[in-house]
Structure 1
Amino acid sequence: MEKKIILTYRKGNILNGCRLNLTKELVNILDLNEEKREFILEYKDKNIFLMATNNDIKEKKSVENGEIKHLTIIMKAGYEKGKNNYKISIPLQVAKMMQLDKIPMVKVKIEKNIIKITGIEKKVVNEVKEERILKREGKIYMITVKKGGSAKTFTAIQIAYFLAVIKKSKVLLISSDTSNDHLFNLLTVEEAQELSKDNNVSIDAVGKITIKKGLKQLVLSSEKKIDYKDYIIEARENLDIIPLESDIFRLTTAKEFTDYQNYMLKFPKVMKQLRKFYDYIIIDGIPVSDIDNFYTEVADKFIIPIVPDEATIRGAINLVQKIGATRIHAIMVSKYRKTAAKDEYLQMLNSWIKKTSIIYPEPVKELAQIEQLIKNKKTIFESESKYLLETQKSFIKVAKDM
């Protein structure tokens, strides 16, 4: 498998850290858990070998002409309890010798309970990229609703996570709503800064996050030669985010209005190019009709999240009639609490949906566990709570046939 290496820099663009996030399979091979996080790292012949610890290991290091030829050390994996994520730091001198600072990408191979990590040459990277371009023609799904507070962003994140981490597809998540960007819903402030590239994320003294270059700049610069990776932040394995800069639709000056027109014109072309790199692109829409319309044009299918009240349900039905039922993949009810009134509204929706092929899973209940997960920047699939099993099943029903 291929994996990205996460690089961090300190002031002066000096490499400060080189990190690899571990999959569950790799964690199991190294026999890691929350209490036991030691493992063996061996470097030789420009390859890294990772192994579980044993009593016979002896640390050693040989240097020739200022370069490490052989290194065996015991290291400790980093652990994020809230996300159950494990990560390892690669010694900077080893990273530079493997040229990971130039091409932050590695091949990971498992050989008899030993993890072999090999750097990727530029030529190979280009060949891999071209192969992926030939194979991929990603589907674009839009999460849309004409009313705020309908769990739109929550829905987009859960579906994107399932497709990327559980289904093992390559997924891009983008937002059209700066007030509720995925970057801040999936990553802590520290993670957002650490995972950004080229200092793309800045944080002020009070913890406010600012995106320096995101979807707006990518779209407006699309006539130039662009490396899409410059705009991407990896939120989870196989799940990338292109954040949206603030105030993109403020439209208070002539330049802002011109930029907005150019954005609408170029956006479909950029999405056509991005399809080549991803299996799925999930667009989190914005509940403003005029702005949302040009996003709608590029989507293949739609998922409509709603809350169980009469106005929202009637609005959803009107939206389906406007877009066309054949383009609606699913309607998802969120924030459900059982009351006679809500059940009456849902019965109205259910009787109408039966006439279509739209997927309609069990309503997602309003749960304290979901609120806590959102606070901890986690998805429902990163929890083992029995109270979330029904919620997980609802999202699986929507995502598995996408």
Structure 2
Amino acid sequence: MEKKLNISLALKKDGRISQARISLSSDVIEHLKITENERKIKIIYEKEKIQIQKIETKSEFEEIIVKEENKLKKFQTSKNLALEGSGDKGTGKTYYNWKLFIPLPIINDWKITKENREVILSKEIDNKIIIKQYDTREKDMEKKENQISLDTKNKVEIKNGIIFDVKNNKGGVGKTEIAKELGHGFSLLGNKVLIISTDAQNNIIDDLYPEEFIVKKGLKEDVFYGTGEMLRLRENLYYMPLKEYKFSDKFLKAIPEYLDKKRKEFDVIIIDSPPLLEVDKVFVECADKIIIPTFCDRKTIKGVLNLINSDKTVLEKINAIVINRYEDTKVQKEWKNALLEALNGTKILCSTIPKLSFIEQMINNQKTIWEYSNQQALEIQKTYTELLFNLMK
């Protein structure tokens, strides 16, 4: 799996780079098998790529620097990964930030600048990682490809602070995926959007936020003290994470007043709702409209049908059902038809998002569907555009 990262730079008064580093996420540290007490690594730079691996023995690693016509051909050295710790008085936990300081000969060879400092990190076999400079030709191609194709000439603005609840009593059906695509779509239509997470995994951070981020203060702190760490994911698109799963009665009672305040600050609020019934009930009551993501299988569709038939309050608020990762198989066709038949006579829109390898790659690239213009992306954008305008009615 590849990750795109930005090198953090420290500059001298004359503008020259004095220090360059990148933050390493916990999964990379685990891959390298680094610990607090054993964090010495060897850095080998050849063919414009950095290879990093833990030094297993106590022996020193030979330093080498080879140049040809002012071009760095080979460079190798060893150093300790930098480790910064910060404590949380509330939980007593210590959070660690791992930093890799990249030697300046490599930075100079890459011709790194403030405007050109993106790199690609990938995990390799034998507990190695590879870091290479992000190809500027690839960047130019991506700029051409990643044109927002949602028509924003006629912006549709919502000024009522509307709340959407993306819910399903079953987990793992793509609630977060739907929430982030709708959130970015609404923001491109001229609205200030807040996505609120009720999942402490905070997958949207990994999906859309390019930097490593450890949540110290989230939704609960924002509800009680107004100190939650709100992240800006895109222009006009913000995210309020959740730090822990414990929901007290006091917290649940405070949610309605909190959301009323947020209505005045944001045009659109999207709640990535939990499958926990007691907590979900509070958000359903606060929501103006509900979107239900589902898979097209027996268990999930039956759960959706039970929800529609059993709770009149929920039914009145359901605006759309989104069949996610749909495959055109006999079984899925049968359950899709069963769902459409049940919705006959209602005003509920049923949308279908196909299962595509492109979507998997898009998520890996930390993009949304609105940031691509290939044929598959355009087809899915049509579906989301119809859904967006239906939600705004």
Q: TM-score, normalised by structure 1?
A: 0.57
Q: Which residue of 1 aligns with 2:332?
A: 342
Question: Deviation at 1:326?
Answer: 2.6
Matches within 5 A, 1:222-233: 226=226, 231-233=229-231
Q: Which amino acid aligns with 1:144?
A: K
Q: Which residue of 2 aligns with 1:384?
A: 373
Q: Distance in 2 between matches of 1:148 and 1:302?
A: 16
Given that 1:153 and 1:180 are in contact with CA atoms closer than 8 Å, whether structure 2 keeps it comes out as: no
Q: Which residue of 2 aligns with 1:253?
A: none
Matches within 5 A, 1:281-300: 281-300=269-288
Other structure's SS at 1:400 match: helix
Question: Deviation at 1:394?
Answer: 1.2
Given that 2:169 and 2:275 are in contact with CA atoms closer than 8 Å, whether structure 1 keeps it comes out as: yes
Other structure's SS at 1:335 match: strand
Q: Which residue of 2 aligns with 1:219?
A: 223
Structure 1's consecutive aligned runs of 4 or more residues displaced over 3 angstroms after TM superposition are 75-85
Q: Distance in 1 between matches of 2:202 and 2:173?
A: 12
Cα 1:78/1:238, change in 2 over 3 Å: farther
Match of 1:242 among 240, 248, 264: 240
Q: Which residue of 2 aligns with 1:328?
A: 318
Matches within 5 A, 1:50-69: none
Q: Distance in 1 between matches of 2:245 and 2:339?
A: 35
Given that 1:145 and 1:316 are in contact with CA atoms closer than 8 Å, whether structure 2 keeps it comes out as: yes
Q: Which residue of 2 aligns with 1:29?
A: none
Question: Deviation at 1:369?
Answer: 0.3
Given that 1:175 and 1:181 are in contact with CA atoms closer than 8 Å, whether structure 2 keeps it comes out as: no
Q: Distance in 2 between matches of 1:211 and 1:335?
A: 30
Question: Deviation at 1:290?
Answer: 2.4
Q: Which amino acid aligns with 1:152?
A: K
Match of 2:199 among 177, 194, 215: 177
Cα 1:9/1:388, change in 2 over 3 Å: closer
Instruction: Give the length in aligned residue pairs.
Output: 247
Cα-to-partner distance string for 1:114-159 (whole Å, 9 max, x where unaligned): xxxxxxxxxxxxxxxxxxxxx9430000000011221111000000
Q: How many percent of aligned residue pairs carry the same amino acid?
A: 32
Q: Distance in 1 between matches of 2:300 and 2:170?
A: 7
Given that 1:139 and 1:300 are in contact with CA atoms closer than 8 Å, whether structure 2 keeps it comes out as: yes
Q: Which amino acid aligns with 2:360?
A: E
Cα-to-partner distance string for 1:292-323 (whole Å, 9 max, x where unaligned): 12121211110000000122112112222313
Question: Deviation at 1:390?
Answer: 2.0
Q: Which residue of 1 aligns with 2:358?
A: 369
Q: Which amino acid aligns with 1:377?
A: Q
Question: Deviation at 1:180?
Answer: 4.1
Q: Which residue of 1 aligns with 2:180?
A: 157
Cα 1:304/1:83, change in 2 over 3 Å: farther
Other structure's SS at 1:145 match: coil
Q: Distance in 1 between matches of 2:198 and 2:9?
A: 29
Q: Distance in 2 between matches of 1:293 and 1:181?
A: 22
Given that 1:83 and 1:382 are in contact with CA atoms closer than 8 Å, whether structure 2 keeps it comes out as: no
Q: Which residue of 2 aligns with 1:276?
A: 264
| Match status 1:144 vs 2:133 | no
